């Protein structure tokens, strides 16, 4: 009997479920909150094929309904621990233990925050310029961050926004020379070094300005968006399996979305794959679900 567990009910986990269920596997999906993951929180999505514009909750609930219609079993609990004993994996939630021959980890990432943006996510605060930059075309925006990710977000935004402030907590940006040269070539980019964002000012519930300190001096920047690029961390702390390869914390997978541990697959933002988007998370989920189901059939 094909039987797999999926940990994480975002689009990667749900797509894994659709592929595994359609191949005849029994699927148990563990999700700590409602199904849909990050997608369910996105205001508007304009880069998912077949939808020129769709609300995140709608896309998430359509994918969840499709998985449910195929017989998906869900356990609405946080997975506290994943271990491997012999050929079987043990999934532990509070008070329950389950055994599976194959598991797909699709737990995504959790963003580092500035601690001031609560209530503004989707109203001018974003963690993804590729996703949300186009909503602020020809508007002034700010990027908070000092790393390669912040530089990359700023370059992307400089091509579409009128003005881009980079609020860099250090005395220099940390990125490859080539990227820095590209950023500095934009005359609409203003980099504020030794700077931090202290407050968001709103109008009608949307970001209208940010208050910053630059070298200890207060300043107000009139911007319509604040892109927070202070890093995100993959959610893998519950996995206790020796020999599992990680790259900067992300799970390393091959082109079948299998980790180096037999029977353990990973999909979506939690992996070391590039371009962390809905369409790539779904593509990973398809591979992980199909191959995990096939592998589970080989275990007695
Ligand atoms: C603000 C914002 C806007 C975005 N806009 C776009 C866009 O326009 N277009 C686009 O393509 N991409 C966009 N993205 C990126 C996209 O949302 C992600 O790439 C995609 O959602 C990743 O899906 P995932 O299933 O891998 O992870 P997630 O959606 O993060 O799902 C992971 C799930 O795992 C669950 N989980 C975690 N740990 C546990 C545990 N221990 N036990 C049980 N459950 C657990 C979480 O609760 C969550 O539901 C955006 C991202 C953000 C933050």
Report CA(192)–ligand 1 centroid distance (Å).
31
Domain at 3-110+232-296: CATH code: 3.50.50.60
What confidence score (pLDDT) does residue 176 get? Answer: 87
Domain boundaries, the chain: 3-110+232-296, 125-228
Pairing of strands 163-167, 189-192: parallel
Report CA(278)–ligand 1 centroid distance (Å).
8
Residue range 125-228 forms a domain whose CATH class is alpha beta
Nearest atom of ligand 1 to the alpha carbon of 111: 53
Question: 142 near 166, Cβ under 8 Å?
Answer: yes
The answer for residues whose C-beta is within 8 angstroms of residue 216's C-beta and 6 or more apart is: none
- Does residue 40 line the site of ligand 1, with CB under 6 A? no
What confidence score (pLDDT) does residue 164 get? Answer: 98
- Does residue 3 line the site of ligand 1, with CB under 6 A? no
Angstrom distances, CA of residue 53 to CA of 47, 104, 263: 8, 30, 37
Cα 144 from Cα 42, distance rounded (Å)? 20
For residue range 85-123, list pLDDT tens digits in order. Answer: 999 999 999 989 999 999 999 999 998 999 999 999 999
How many other C-beta atoms can be found within 10 angstroms of the C-beta atom of residue 95? Answer: 7
- Does residue 107 line the site of ligand 1, with CB under 6 A? yes
Cα 77 from Cα 270, distance rounded (Å)? 19
Q: For 279-295, what is the mean pLDDT?
A: 98
What confidence score (pLDDT) does residue 231 get? Answer: 86
What is the CA 300 to chain-centroid distance, rounded? Answer: 35
| Phi, then psi, of 222 in degrees rounded to 5 | -80, 110
- Does residue 47 line the site of ligand 1, with CB under 6 A? yes
For residue range 155-195, list pLDDT tens digits in order. Answer: 999 999 999 999 999 999 998 899 999 999 999 999 999 99
Q: Which residue has the tokens 């191959």?
A: 291
For residue range 213-272, list pLDDT tens digits in order. Answer: 999 999 999 999 999 999 889 999 999 999 999 999 999 999 999 999 999 999 999 999
Q: Report the half-sphere exposure of 125 (CA within 13 A, side-chain side).
A: 21
What percent of the chain stands above pLDDT 90?
A: 89
Q: Do domains 3-110+232-296 and 125-228 have the same CATH topology?
A: yes
């Amino acid at each position: 009997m094909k039987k797999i567990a999926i940990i994480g009910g975002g689009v990667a986990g749900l797509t894994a479920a659709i592929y595994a269920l359609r191949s005849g596997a029994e699927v148990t999906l563990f999700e700590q909150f409602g199904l849909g993951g990050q997608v369910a929180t996105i205001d508007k999505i304009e880069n998912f094929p077949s939808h020129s514009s769709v609300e995140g909750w709608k896309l998430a609930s359509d994918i969840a309904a499709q998985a449910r219609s195929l017989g998906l079993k869900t356990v609405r609990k946080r997975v506290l621990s994943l271990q491997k004993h012999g050929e079987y994996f043990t999934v532990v939630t509070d008070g329950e233990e389950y055994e599976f021959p194959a598991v797909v980890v699709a737990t995504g990432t959790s963003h580092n925050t500035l601690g001031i943006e609560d209530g503004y996510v989707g109203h001018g605060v974003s963690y993804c310029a590729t996703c949300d930059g186009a909503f602020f075309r020809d508007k002034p925006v700010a990027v908070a961050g000092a790393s390669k990710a912040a530089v990359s977000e700023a370059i992307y935004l400089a091509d579409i926004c009128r003005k881009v402030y980079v609020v860099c907590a250090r005395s220099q940006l940390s990125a490859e020379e080539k990227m820095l040269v590209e950023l500095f070539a934009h005359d609409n980019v203003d980099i504020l070094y030794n700077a931090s964002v202290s407050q968001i000012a709103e109008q009608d519930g949307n970001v209208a300005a940010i208050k910053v300190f630059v070298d200890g001096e207060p300043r107000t920047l009139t911007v319509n968006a604040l892109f927070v690029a202070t890093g995100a961390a993959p959610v893998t702390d519950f996995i206790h399996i020796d020999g599992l390869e990680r790259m900067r914390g992300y799970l390393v997978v091959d082109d079948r979305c299998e980790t180096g541990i037999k029977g353990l697959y990973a999909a979506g933002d939690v992996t070391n794959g590039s371009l962390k988007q809905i369409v790539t998370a779904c593509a990973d989920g398809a591979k992980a679900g199909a191959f995990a189901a096939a592998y589970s059939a080989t275990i007695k």
